[in-house]
A and B are shown apart, each in its own frame.
Chain A
Amino acid sequence: MPISRRSIVGGAIAASGLLAAPAIAQGAPLKIGLMLPFSGTFAALGESIASAFEMHVKELGGKMGGRVVELIRVDDESDPAKAPANVNGLIGRSKVEALVGTVHSGVVMALVQAAREAEMPLIIPNAGNVAATRDLCAPSIFRSSFSNWQPAYGMGKALAAKGVKKAAWVTWDYAAGKESGDGFGDGLRSGGAELTKVLTVPFPETNFQPLLAQLPGLGVEAVGSFFAGGGAIQFVKDYAAAGLRDKLPLCGSGFLTEGVLKPQGAAAEGLQTALHYGDGIDNPKNLAFRAAFKTHANRDADVYAVQGYDAAQMLGIGLAATKGDATAIKDFAAAIRNAKIDSPRGAFTISASHNPVQTIWLREAKNGENRVIGTAAAALADPGTGCKMT
C-alpha cells in the first residue's frame, strides 16, 4: 500500500508569469487546487490534464480575473478513501479558492461534496459520473469533459442510423459501465433500435471468456462496450481472438480505444467508437492547441489534455466576470453558462445542469489513430435528470 505521497508544488506558474511581466501588486494570489492522480493507474491522465491547465494559465499571462494564479497540486492516487482528507487539506490548510479535479469517479464525489458545502467553484476535468451534473448538481460545479451517458448515446445513435436493430452492451459491473449502458440504450432507441441484453463482469476482472462465449447466442447484430485502460486492451484482443469481429461488429464508448491502440494492435483495426474528441479534427483551434501542447509538454495532446485546457478556459471565463472573486458564485456561474467555450474539440456551450453540450464524434481506429469519420450526435446535452439548482 503506497504511503500517502502528497506532493504540493505551488508557484511554478505564478513565477513564470511574473518573469514574463514585472510584478504589479495585485493583492493575494488566487490559489487553485489541482486534485488529480499523479501516481497509479491514472497518472498519465492526471499529468495531461494538469499540463494543459497550466498551459492555458500561461496563455492568460499567469492571471485569472486580474489575480496572479498559484496552482497547488495534490496527488489523489485515485483512492476514494483518501479523497475527503485530500480535499479538506486543500481547503483548510492550503486555503484554495477554487478546485479542479479529478479523473476517478469515486474520488470526485468528495470534491463535489466539498464544493457544494463550501459553495466553491469546482471544474471536473474528467470523471463522467452522471450524478455530478444530475442529482448532485450545484451552481458552483461545472464539468469540462463529458457525462458517461454522452459518448455511449452517440454510439447507440450512430449504430441505429446504420440500420442495426438489436444490440448488446458489455461492460464492467460498476457505475461508469452502467451509466454508459443507459446512454447506449437511449441512443439506440432514438433511432428505432433496441438494447436487448446487458452483460457484465466484476470490476476490474479481465477473464472475459465466459462473457464472450455468450455473445453468438444472443441474436444481436452488434455489440457495444465500455472498458478503459488495461481492461480495454485485453477485451479488444480477446474479442478478436474469439473470432467474433466478423460476425458481430464491436463498437463502444471512445475509451475502448483511447490511448491503448498500440498494445491492441491489429485487434483494434477498423473498430468504431464515439467520443467528444478524436484524431483529425482540423479546425484552426485544434491545430493551434496541438502544436502549443507539444511545445509545452513535449508530447502529443490527448482527450485528457483537451479537458484540462477547457477546464482552465471555463474557470478563467467565470473568474474574469467576477474580477477574481471566487465567492461571487452567481455571476461566476452566469458567465460560464452564457459563454461559448472555444475548445479544440469544437466550440461547445454549457447545459442548464453545467455539463458540456457538445458534438460526439464517430471515430474509426486506423494505423494507431482514432480518426474522426463523422458525427455520431450533434450538440448533445446530458438529460440532467434530477438536477435542481438552488
Chain B
Amino acid sequence: MGGFLVQILNGLQYGLLLFLISSGLTLIFGVMGVINLAHGSLYMIGAYLTYVVAGATGEFWLALPAAVIGGLVLGAVLERILFQRFRHRDHLDQVLLTFALILLFEEARAALIDNQFHAVQVPPVLDFSVPVMGGFAYSAYRLVVLAICLAVAACMVAFVERTRLGASIRAAAENPEMVDLLGIDARLIHTLVFAAGTALAMLAGALAAPLQSVYPGMGDGFLILSFIVVVIGGLGSIAGAFWAALLVGLIDTLGKVYVPQLAGIAVCGLMALVLLWRPTGLFSRA
C-alpha cells in the first residue's frame, strides 16, 4: 500500500511539471490558434540556461528568475517577429515554421554549448531527503518543485479567472474580433500570452534540470505529452490543462509500474477514450 501511495505522489509530481509546460502551450494554442511544436525546445532552453547560469555563478536560485525573464523576452521577440505573421496562416505553415525553430534551437544549442549530457546539482540547502512511506524517501528539492508548481498553478488560475487582464485573455481566446471592437489591444494580449507561455516552459525546464539532467532533445518526449494534455484538457483551458496534466502524470507513472508492457500507449489510450467521450476535451467551453 505504501508503495502505491508513493507512486501516486510520483505521478502527481510528474503531472505538475507537465502542467507548467502544457499550460503555456494551451494558452498559445487557445488564444492565438498557433500550433507551437517548438514548445519542447523552449523547455530544453530553460534547462540549458540553468546549467549555464548555475555553473557560472554557483547559485542555482539565480537560474529561476533568469529563466522567467529570459523566457518573457524570448517569447515576446518570437511573437513580434514570427508568430504574429503566422497567426492567420493555416496550421501546416505553422507546423513548418515551428519545426524549423526546433532545428534552429537544436543547432544553436550544439554550437553554443555542446551535445553532451550534463548533470545539474541540486541546490545545497535542499540536498537532503525526507522519508515518505514504504521505505522510500523524497529529496527535499523534489518536494520544493512540487510546491512551486502548485503555487504557479494557483496564481495562473487566479490570474486568468479573476483579473481584468485575465478576462481579456479569455475573451481573446473565444472571440478576437469582438475584443478588438471593444477597444482592447488584441496584439498586446497575444504578445503577452506568448511571452508568458515561453516563460512557463523555460521555468519548467529550469526546475527539471536537477531532476532529469540536461541533454539534447530532452524536450521531445515532453512536447508529445504536453499536446496530449492540451487535447484532453480542452484547447485554451488552464483548469483543463491542470487536471489533464495530473491525469496524464498519474496514468503514465502507474502504467510504467503496473503494466510496463503498455506504458508507451497508456497515455495515448487515455486520450482516445476522452476524445470519444468529449471530442472537444474535458474542460472545453465549446
Contacts and interface: CB of A to CB of B under 8 A. Distances in A.
Interface of A: 1-2, 39-41, 43, 199-202, 204-207, 209-214, 216-217, 229-231, 233-234, 237-238, 241-244, 247, 263-265
B135 A216 contact: yes
Contacts of B212: 206-207, 234
Interface of B: 3, 6-7, 10-11, 13-14, 103, 106-107, 110, 115-119, 121-122, 129, 131, 134-139, 142, 211-213, 215-216, 221, 253-254, 256-257, 260, 263-264
Contacts of A43: 115-116
A1 B106 CA distance: 7
A218 to B, nearest CB: 10
A213 B136 contact: yes
A243 B257 contact: no
Q: Which of B107, B117, B257 has its CB near the most chain A CB atoms (within 10 A)?
A: B117
B3 A230 contact: no
Nearest to A263: B119
A247 B135 CA distance: 8
Given A41-B117, A214-B3, A234-B212, A207 B134 contact: no
A243 B10 contact: no
Given A204-B215, A233-B117, A213 B6 contact: yes
A216 B7 contact: no
Contact of A230 (B10, B14, B138, B213): B213
A61 B255 CA distance: 59
A234 B119 contact: yes
Contact of B136 (A40, A201, A205, A216): A216
B185 to A, nearest CB: 39
Given A39-B115, A41-B115, A263-B119, A242 B3 contact: no
A209 B221 contact: no
Q: Which of A211, A212, A230 has its CB near the most chain B CB atoms (within 10 A)?
A: A230
A217 B2 CA distance: 9
Nearest to A243: B137
11 contacts: A1-B106, A41-B215, A206-B215, A211-B257, A212-B136, A213-B136, A216-B135, A216-B136, A230-B118, A237-B119, A243-B129
A93 to B, nearest CB: 26
Given A2-B107, A202-B264, 12 more contacts: A200-B260, A201-B256, A205-B221, A207-B211, A210-B257, A211-B256, A231-B117, A241-B137, A241-B139, A244-B136, A263-B118, A265-B121
Contacts of B213: 206, 230-231, 233-234
A43 B115 CA distance: 9
Given A206-B213, A233-B213, A242 B119 contact: no
Nearest to A3: B107
Contacts of B115: 39-41, 43
Nearest to A201: B256
A327 B135 CA distance: 61
Contacts of A216: 3, 134-136
Nearest to A173: B260
Contact of B257 (A214, A247, A263): A214
Q: Which of A43, A200, A202, A206 has its CB near the most chain B CB atoms (within 10 A)?
A: A206
A230 B215 contact: yes
B56 to A, nearest CB: 16
B141 to A, nearest CB: 8
Contacts of A237: 119, 122
B10 A213 contact: yes
B65 to A, nearest CB: 25
B220 to A, nearest CB: 11
A137 B6 CA distance: 47
B98 to A, nearest CB: 15
Contact of A210 (B10, B118, B121): B10
Contacts of B103: 1
Contacts of A243: 129, 131, 135-137
A263 B103 CA distance: 29
A241 B3 contact: no
B138 A242 contact: yes
Q: Which 7 A-B pairs have the closest CB atoms?
A: A230-B117, A243-B137, A241-B139, A216-B135, A263-B119, A233-B119, A213-B6
B110 A230 contact: no
Contacts of A233: 117, 119, 213
Given A1-B103, A204-B215, A210 B119 contact: no
